[in-house]
Chains A and B, each alone.
Chain A
Amino acid sequence: MNHMVQFQSPRLDAAFAALSHATRRGILERLGRTDASITELAGRFDMTLTGMKKHIAILEEAGFVVTRKAGRVRTCALGPRGLEHEAAWIEQYRQLWQARFDALDTLVADLQQTPSTPSRPTRK
């Protein structure tokens, strides 16, 4: 019942589209360990070069991946958004709990100001 961070996303943007695909999440995981060329990634995920290029283009557009070309080899690395991915998620999660706990603060203050309703838990 804690996993409501998804509610924070009113718009299904490029980042959502990019992360909605298992292969692309796998690519990010892989690039989190080390940079790789498109050819290496295609081999690793058992995919055509064209197919892999499409995935990389989507990830690049969303800011998760950056690519650079050296000679005939295009190398992929995690982009700024990919690197900050975990930190950003944890911060969002903290904000959700912060908002909840602020509301809880208000509630427990209210409860203490109304001694007319002692409302002890019933015996089980």
Chain B
Amino acid sequence: MPNLTTTERTSERELVITRSFAAPVQTVFDAWTKPELFQRWWTPPSFGITFASCELDARTGGRYHFVFTHPDFPEPMAFFGRYLEVVAPSRIVWTNEESAEGSISTLTLEERDGRTHLTLHELYPSAAALDEAMASGSVNGASAQFELLDEVLPTLVGG
């Protein structure tokens, strides 16, 4: 099954994530741009994150604002930014403004051989900004949560 997610640091300030889906490109695009659909997959249960609110206006120039809660974090956390470019059904570009040195994300969807191929490209303003994102996110090396995820993941693969 070509259902593998790959993640690669392609340069000192870029990450590229890929995956393919057995669905038409319009369906995958809808899942990224309609709030009622987006909420159904963006916060996988295994991560313990829940949407407190989800506002998105997926049009060029529109904004998004998500608030998440997690049982281990006393305060909700907000993630927000702006859609720089939205071209249905193949391309979405947005900013990540919750940190000063946030990345620009470019999502590309391409229908090929009856599947939708997804590429998410994240460009950081500098190598230091990506290093920093990694430093702040690497807090849990081989935590119990990580092992739990390994157990839960196979049960998520259904569809």
Given contacts A92-B140, A93-B15, A121-B33, contact A7 B49 (CB under 8 A): yes
User: A106 near B133 (CB under 8 angstroms)?
Assistant: no
A4, CB-defined interface residue at 8 Å: yes
Looking at the assembled complex, report how far the CB atom of A15 sits from the nearest CB atom of chain B, in whole angstroms. Answer: 6
What DSSP secondary structure best describes chain A's contact surface?
helix
Most buried by B among A12, A81, A106: A106
B46, CB-defined interface residue at 8 Å: yes
Interface string of A1-43 (1 = CB under 8 A from B): 1111111111111011001000001000100000000000000
Chain B residues, CB < 8 A from A124? 59
Instruction: Give the total of A residues in contact with B, Cβ under 8 Å.
Output: 50
User: A105 near B72 (CB under 8 angstroms)?
Assistant: no
B6, CB-defined interface residue at 8 Å: yes
User: B40 near A92 (CB under 8 angstroms)?
Assistant: no
Looking at the assembled complex, report how far the CB atom of A98 sits from the nearest CB atom of chain B, in whole angstroms. Answer: 4
Report how far A99 CA is from B149 CA in the complex, Å.
9
Looking at the assembled complex, report how far the CB atom of B152 sits from the nearest CB atom of chain A, in whole angstroms. Answer: 8
Interface string of A86-124 (1 = CB under 8 A from B): 101111111111111111111111111000000101001
Contact pick for A15, options B24, B29, B138, CB 8 Å:
B138
User: A107 near B41 (CB under 8 angstroms)?
Assistant: yes
B84, CB-defined interface residue at 8 Å: no
Chain B residues, CB < 8 A from A107? 31, 37, 40-41, 159
User: B31 near A121 (CB under 8 angstroms)?
Assistant: no
Report how far A101 CA is from B1 CA in the complex, Å.
14
Chain B residues, CB < 8 A from A108? 21-23, 27-28, 31, 159
Chain B residues, CB < 8 A from A15? 138-141
Report how far A119 CA is from B5 CA in the complex, Å.
28
Interface string of B62-78 (1 = CB under 8 A from A): 00101010101100010
9 A-B pairs with CB atoms under 8 Å apart are A1-B81, A7-B70, A8-B149, A13-B140, A97-B120, A99-B153, A100-B44, A102-B159, A109-B23
